[in-house]
Copies of this chain bind each other. A is one copy, B any other.
Amino acid sequence: MKLRRDPFQAIADPTRRAILVLLAAQTMTAGAIADNFATARPTISKHMQILSECELIEASQQGREIFYQLRADKMKDIDQWLGQFRKIWESRFDQLDNILSNLQTKKDEA
């Protein structure tokens, strides 16, 4: 196992996912972000570091505060990987599944 630091590994952790969701609403300081979690502040700080390394967020210092901002465009990398499968789950095979389960539903209702 070698050290990985890619967006897929970054969003594997639920705390980091929650941080990204927080930052989707607004830019926040390190402290404000940490206040949303029971986890110790240095632990959150480490998460911010990981997210920064993946360029999923961006830090900008203002005085003694550091504001973190989401870089949603980087999430596109994940989105693009998912794209390979999108055509499959939107395909007629899935649609056939839907037809079958609709028929089932109608049978249940009858």
Contact = CB atoms under 8 A, between A and B. Distances in A.
Nearest to A88: B72
A8 interface: yes
A40 interface: no
Contacts of A17: 8, 81
Contacts of A4: 12, 14
Interface residues of A, number: 26
Given A12-B12, A88-B24, A78 B82 contact: yes
Interface in A13-65: 14, 17, 20-21, 24
Contacts of A14: 4, 8
Given A21-B84, A75-B82, A82-B82, 16 more contacts: A4-B12, A4-B14, A8-B12, A8-B17, A9-B12, A11-B12, A12-B12, A17-B81, A24-B84, A70-B85, A72-B94, A75-B85, A75-B89, A78-B78, A78-B82, A79-B86
